[in-house]
Structure 1
Amino acid sequence: MKKNVLIIGAGGVAQVVAHKCAQHNDILGDLHIASRTRAKCDAIIASVHEKGAMKVPGTFQAHAVNAMDTAAVADLIRQTGVQIVINVGSAFVNKYVLDACIETGVAYIDTAIHEEPDRICEAPPWYGNYEWKKRDLCAEKGVTAILGAGFDPGVVNAYVRFAADEYLDSVTSVDIVDINAGSHGKYFATNFDPEINFREFTGTVYSWQGGKWQENKMFEVGREWDLPVVGKQKAYLSGHDEVHSLSANYPDADIRFWMGFGDHYINVFTVLKNLGLLSEQPVKTAEGQEVIPLKVVKAVLPDPASLAPGYTGKTCIGDFVKGTKDGKEAEVFVYNVADHKEAYEEVGSQGISYTAGVPPVAAALLIAQGTWDVKKMANVEELPARPFLELLGRIGLPSRVVTPEGEDKPI
């Protein structure tokens, strides 16, 4: 049994994680949250108390830390006595926080793949560039490290495992479809860190098809999907983290990720990209000041956390998993629908942050209770799916499955 949690990060997803940890502090124990700016952590803790989220009286403390300083993170882990770290900071800090967890022997959970600030879209599989290089060390030291335990990656990985375990004899293709049918009312904004958001869409789109990596350009391949609640929506083949682990664990299946975009987003994105404003490489202004265009764009766009109060509508994220059952072709659709307004009313964040923030808390609870305390590094599809999905349903993210027979039922 492990307890006492340190949350790294203080953005919209961290706010959800904080509230959900507080709602289960009877199991998770003492809570701590740290980021470069302590005031942001203090504000999140204040929101937890305003909502009365703490299930039982207990500790919830804020700290300042540079998460790219492994030694500083390790010192904070020792100082607080935590046994589980939930890393929802920038993707740029992942490898440093992971190293601190390995050094101190505590469990590690993240929600996205590590990225280097000056590199976009490295060679696939992306996990092989950083995280998987520490697999042997985690196993040697008995350190539980759960990679990509958000929604996508994370829950969508579990959907594949769930379909394979309970409905199919073999998996031949996986199409992950992410649709946000909500509206934030702004001229233009991104639902999570603009820098990370744009980096996802300026590089090569990698999918795993025919047993090899296929390369496309963003917005090159699109199709319409008809989904529960949100209806018919256009989505585009996109590069995404989960493709890079699922392709290793289901090498005989085609693995594709599709994300929904409106025409307005595509138009603005295209102009920004064509002007060079989405570049991660520094440029000099006429005054001799060095700036990174992508960071300037991030600075002028709305903070994703600020979108929450006025956000309306729903999201639908799910997996179409095809394969065979008893020698015949079969398809399973596993999905979740989330509501932006309901998320804001519960935890003060919009639905995108909510779907990303609830799953790592479920992972922490499963580690605390021993179910996922595997003492090695694992991607979510390598772990038992049903306990994870059932727990998610109990704490705020219920999933449903459309069986090969066409029955739509809760998990």
Structure 2
Amino acid sequence: MKKNVLIIGAGGVAQVVAHKCAQNNDVLGDIHVASRTVEKCREIVASVQEKKSLKVKGVIEAHALDAMDVAATKALIGRTDARIVINVGSPFVNMSVLSACIETGAAYIDTAIHEDPLKICENAPWYANYEWKRQEDCKKAGVTAILGAGFDPGVVNAYAKLAVDDYFDRVDSIDIIDVNAGSHGRYFATNFDPEINFREFTGRVMTWQDREWKTNKMFEVRQDWDLPVVGKSPTYLTGHDEIHSLSRHLDVPTIRFWMGFGDHYINVFTVLKNLGLLSEQPIKTAEGQEVVPLKVVKAVLPDPSSLAPDYTGKTCIGDLVKGVKDGKQREIFIYNIADHKQAYEEVGSQGISYTAGVPAVAAAMLIASGEWDVKTMANVEELPPRPFLDLLGRIGLPTRIREGENDQPLA
């Protein structure tokens, strides 16, 4: 049984992960939080202690770490005797942290695909550009590496696998829908790292349709959905991580991702983009200083973790799956509802961070117990979905299924 967790990152998701690991430290053992800004790690540790989140008496410590430094990361894994590393830092550090895990034998979990800071929207499938190239190395080293174990990617992958395995004889399409119907009360802010958030929407929109990659522009294709709890919601076709693994691992001809946006967000985003302020390429000011416009925008926007105290409302994220069962057309929506205020009261973070962080801890617990300790690299849909979804239901993210007028918890 693997024990002792090293959490890399110190943002809102890391705070959720630390609290949830603490709530389950009888299974996960010692907890260590590391990032370049050690003071943020100490604040997370203090939050866990203040809320008395530790289930049993145990270790929780903060560390300074540049996760781009493989040698330093290896050394910290060794000093902490961490057997599971949960990487919720910037996607820019994924491959460095993965390398450290392969070389030390620690299990690896992340919640988003690796990105090169100088490249946006690389060729599909995205995982093939970086992570999947290390799959054989993981297998040779006997290292478990679970990719994209947040909510989307992550839980929605498990929803897709569950639908394919248990609810359909043939799946024709999967539409992943992500709507945040909450309000943070600020003029403009992003729910997670602004740099990563904006990069997600400035490139091509790549989706899997009729067994091939289709390309659109951002905000080009709109679809309104009538969703549980949050009601009628406008969404836009968006490129996203999970499409790139699901298109390979599941025999489904059409897989798309839809994200909810309000008119205000779209207007501000459009102005910033048209002014060149979302560029990741450095420019020189009139004074000769070199700056990256996107990083300047990030610096002036609110820290996403600061939104949590005032956030109200709910999120709805799920998979609308269509296909055939017993010779008849079938349609189901597998989903979760999360509440921003409840998330803040429990762990001090808003609901977006909560939905990303809780699944990573569930994955860690399944590795610790051996159920997901597969000793190779895997995306979530390659693993048994039931243990994951059942565990999520117990630790804060229950699943529901709507079919026609029937809406009930996952049995």
| Structure 2 length-normalised TM | 0.99
Distance in 2 between residues matched to 1:261 and 1:294, nearest whole Å: 20
Report what 1:101 is aligned to: 101
Report what 2:307 is aligned to: 307
Contact 1:34–1:63 under 8 Å retained in 2: yes
Q: CA deviation at 1:169?
A: 1.3
Letter in 2 for 1:300: V
Distance in 2 between residues matched to 1:54 and 1:27, nearest whole Å: 11
Q: CA deviation at 1:251?
A: 4.3
Secondary structure, counterpart of 2:370 in structure 1: coil
Mapping for residues 1-150 of structure 1, pairs under 5 Å: 1-150=1-150
Report what 1:232 is aligned to: 232
Distance in 2 between residues matched to 1:406 and 1:75, nearest whole Å: 55
Distance in 2 between residues matched to 1:329 and 1:387, nearest whole Å: 28
How far does the alpha carbon of each residue in 1:376-407 deviate from its partner, in whole angstroms, 9 at most, with x for none? 1000011010110010010001110124x652
How far does the alpha carbon of each residue in 1:159-217 deviate from its partner, in whole angstroms, 9 at most, with x for none? 00111121111211100000000000000000000000000000000000011100000
Letter in 2 for 1:397: L
How far does the alpha carbon of each residue in 1:42-71 deviate from its partner, in whole angstroms, 9 at most, with x for none? 000000000010001101111111000111
Mapping for residues 329-408 of structure 1, pairs under 5 Å: 329-403=329-403, 406-408=405-407
Distance in 2 between residues matched to 1:140 and 1:149, nearest whole Å: 22
Letter in 1 for 2:239: G
Mapping for residues 223-262 of structure 1, pairs under 5 Å: 223-262=223-262
Contact 2:182–2:315 under 8 Å retained in 1: yes
Bigger shift: residues 392-401 or 325-334: 325-334
Letter in 2 for 1:231: G
Contact 2:161–2:250 under 8 Å retained in 1: no
Secondary structure, counterpart of 1:374 in structure 2: coil
Secondary structure, counterpart of 1:32 in structure 2: strand
Distance in 1 between residues matched to 2:341 and 2:46, nearest whole Å: 20
Letter in 2 for 1:254: T
Contact 1:84–1:364 under 8 Å retained in 2: yes
Q: CA deviation at 1:118?
A: 0.8
Secondary structure, counterpart of 1:41 in structure 2: helix
Distance in 2 between residues matched to 1:406 and 1:85, nearest whole Å: 42
Distance in 2 between residues matched to 1:73 and 1:327, nearest whole Å: 53
Letter in 2 for 1:145: A
Distance in 1 between residues matched to 2:240 and 2:166, nearest whole Å: 25
Distance in 2 between residues matched to 1:177 and 1:275, nearest whole Å: 30
Report what 1:168 is aligned to: 168
Distance in 2 between residues matched to 1:407 and 1:127, nearest whole Å: 37
How far does the alpha carbon of each residue in 1:266-319 deviate from its partner, in whole angstroms, 9 at most, with x for none? 000000000000000000000000000000000000000000000000000010
Bigger shift: residues 163-172 or 223-232: 163-172
What is the RMSD computed on CA atoms of the aligned residues? 0.8
Contact 1:211–1:251 under 8 Å retained in 2: no
Report what 1:151 is aligned to: 151
Distance in 2 between residues matched to 1:298 and 1:6, nearest whole Å: 27
Q: CA deviation at 1:81?
A: 0.5
Q: Which runs of 5+ in 2 are unaligned?
A: none
Q: CA deviation at 1:103?
A: 0.5
Distance in 1 between residues matched to 2:85 and 2:68, nearest whole Å: 15
Distance in 1 between residues matched to 2:96 and 2:322, nearest whole Å: 38
Distance in 2 between residues matched to 1:171 and 1:105, nearest whole Å: 38
Q: CA deviation at 1:322?
A: 1.2
Secondary structure, counterpart of 1:161 in structure 2: helix
Letter in 1 for 2:408: K
Contact 1:171–1:250 under 8 Å retained in 2: no
Secondary structure, counterpart of 1:394 in structure 2: helix
Contact 2:34–2:63 under 8 Å retained in 1: yes
Distance in 2 between residues matched to 1:406 and 1:155, nearest whole Å: 24
Q: CA deviation at 1:368?
A: 0.4
Q: Does 1:409 align with 2:411?
A: no
The alpha-carbon distance between structure 1 residues 252 and 55, as it changes in their structure 2 partners (threshold 3 A), is closer
Distance in 2 between residues matched to 1:133 and 1:95, nearest whole Å: 10
Q: CA deviation at 1:408?
A: 1.4
Distance in 1 between residues matched to 2:322 and 2:135, nearest whole Å: 30
Q: CA deviation at 1:89?
A: 0.2
Letter in 1 for 2:399: S
The alpha-carbon distance between structure 1 residues 262 and 215, as it changes in their structure 2 partners (threshold 3 A), is same
| Identity value in percent | 73
Distance in 2 between residues matched to 1:19 and 1:11, nearest whole Å: 13
Report what 2:214 is aligned to: 214
Contact 1:307–1:350 under 8 Å retained in 2: yes
Q: CA deviation at 1:331?
A: 1.4
Distance in 2 between residues matched to 1:115 and 1:362, nearest whole Å: 24
Q: CA deviation at 1:83?
A: 0.4
Report what 1:191 is aligned to: 191
Letter in 2 for 1:220: E
Distance in 1 between residues matched to 2:203 and 2:40, nearest whole Å: 31
How far does the alpha carbon of each residue in 1:239-280 deviate from its partner, in whole angstroms, 9 at most, with x for none? 110010001012442000000000000000000000000000
Distance in 1 between residues matched to 2:311 and 2:206, nearest whole Å: 31
Report what 1:321 is aligned to: 321
Secondary structure, counterpart of 1:367 in structure 2: helix
Letter in 1 for 2:79: Q
Letter in 2 for 1:381: E
Distance in 2 between residues matched to 1:320 and 1:78, nearest whole Å: 44
How far does the alpha carbon of each residue in 1:313-333 deviate from its partner, in whole angstroms, 9 at most, with x for none? 000001001121122221121
Q: Which runs of 5+ in 1 are unaligned?
A: none
Distance in 1 between residues matched to 2:253 and 2:84, nearest whole Å: 34
Report what 2:273 is aligned to: 273
